[in-house]
Amino acid sequence: MSVAASPLPAQWLHYRNEQIPRTPDGKPNLNAPAPRTADGKPDLSGIWDIEHNRPCPKEGCPDMPVGQEFFNIGWSLKGGLPYQPWAAALVKERMDSGGKDNPTTRCLPPGIIKMHTLPLFRKIVQLPGMVVILNESNTSFRQIFTDGRPLPDIDQPSVDGYSVGKWEGDTFVVQTIGFTDGIWLDTNGSPITDAAKVTERFRRINFGKLEIEISVDDPKAYTAPWTVKLNHFLVPDTELLGYSCLENEKDAAHYVK
């Protein structure tokens, strides 16, 4: 892709968003304070990109570079993820086999954690009673209910689970349960099980930066709970593109059997 395609950022629409604060020269002021909704809470709404914290390979930067956490969600942890022995063996097997069964390479949904690491944009829409995340990835969505409902008893687990959120000061705290087995948290194949409880803490540091702290408590797969922190950055003056992974998909035929 890096050799053949024109720069990918040029493909996104330009739409000047009048809600974005500007510097005197008209450029988005991404260091301005975080906006707030009518009820005084920080407004997380906006189009967000990952942190591009992975150096380009010597042959050049790809058009759509991924971050470190795309490959290893525990990249920032000193001792790595605290896998249970079976989970460590599974990750080794998945890495040794070239990630051939990675769901996202087969256009299956990534789940909420891997979604935070995809280089495709996502748009947060903060509404009364609900926060919606619209993902370019397979033009998909996620709902986080903020109307005070409790987490339900899960009789039908899913890839994204079931999410409820509440505000603790200026931090939006989201709890999610109800995951299916078979989800990959990263390209290495770190697993998560139906026992997992995921807590995300969203903090909009300023207009242009969103910090997402992800805590995973999954005693089936990990010997201890673990927490990582991701940064997302606002993408001003554009809109999401529609994206279907299966459209014109020609890779699957070449995967390792």
Partner 1 sequence: MKFAATLFFVVLAVCLTASSLSAQWLHYRNEQIPRTSDGKPNLKAPAPRTADGKPDLSGIWDIEHNRPCPKEGCPDMPVGQEFFNIGWSLKDGLPYQPWAAALVKEKTESN
Q: Which residues bind partner 1 (CB under 8 A)?
A: 149, 152, 156, 162
Instruction: Give least dist CB 183 to partner 1, A.
Output: 20
Distance CA 151, CA 167 (A): 16
**DSSP H or E stretch at residue 229:** strand 226-234
- Tell me the three-class secondary structure of 77-117, residue by residue: CCCCCCECHHHHHHHHHHHHCCCCCCHHHHCCCCHHHHHCC
Ranges assigned E (strand) in 110-220: 122-127, 130-135, 140-145, 162-168, 171-177, 183-184, 191-192, 197-206, 209-217
Distance CA 166, CA 146 (A): 6
Q: Of 2 and 143, which CB lies nearer to partner 1 in the complex structure? A: 143
DSSP state, residue 196 = -
Instruction: Give least dist CB 244 to partner 1, A.
Output: 12
Q: Of 4 and 246, which CB lies nearer to partner 1 in the complex structure? A: 246
Instruction: Give least dist CB 77 to partner 1, A.
Output: 35
Q: Is 191 exposed, middle or buried (0-12, 13-18, 19+ CB in 10 A)?
A: buried
Instruction: Give least dist CB 108 to partner 1, A.
Output: 16
Q: Of 246 and 256, which CB lies nearer to partner 1 in the complex structure? A: 246
Q: Of 36 and 149, which CB lies nearer to partner 1 in the complex structure? A: 149
Instruction: Give least dist CB 174 to partner 1, A.
Output: 17
CA distances from 159 to 16, 26, 45, 151 (A): 35, 42, 24, 16
Q: Of 7 and 148, which CB lies nearer to partner 1 in the complex structure? A: 148
Instruction: Give least dist CB 150 to partner 1, A.
Output: 11
Which amino acid, residue 247?
Answer: E
Instruction: Give least dist CB 41 to partner 1, A.
Output: 17
Q: Of 100 and 149, which CB lies nearer to partner 1 in the complex structure? A: 149
Q: Of 56 and 154, which CB lies nearer to partner 1 in the complex structure? A: 154
**DSSP H or E stretch at residue 231:** strand 226-234
